[in-house]
Amino acid sequence: MWKTFGMLLAALGLGSGCSGSQAKLLELEGGIYLKGSVPHTYLVIEDRHTHRMYKIDNPASFDLIHRQKHVVKVQAKLLDEEKGPGDPATIEVVKVEGE
């Protein structure tokens, strides 16, 4: 029963918080930083205009780990909104400018 329910949620696009057709697209420019403590580290981009942090869900797709402390421009889909202080919104990078 739960398996069927999970497949239904996935089919409707509700499992990730935003459906593919309704996902908000963002253009961000800012520095890439490593946050958290071992073994729970993750990459974020700090937007230089709003100073908001966004957790990057797919850093390996664009090899962003090697761009730490560099300013980059990205296009991204918003996957999950910010839940509170210290819990940034989650994004999926779809394009890095200059590649």
Rounded to two decimals, what is the model's pTM? Answer: 0.74
pLDDT at 3 over 60: no
| Cis peptide bond upstream of 39, omega within 30 | yes
CATH number of the domain at 22-96, out of 2.40.128, 2.60.40, 2.60.120, 2.40.50?
Answer: 2.40.50
Q: What is the pLDDT of residues 33-75, one digit of tens each?
A: 999 999 999 999 999 999 999 999 999 999 999 999 899 999 9
Q: How far apart are CA 80 and CA 18, in angstroms?
A: 7
**For position 21, what pLDDT does the model report?**
53
Q: Give the number of residues written for the chain.
A: 99
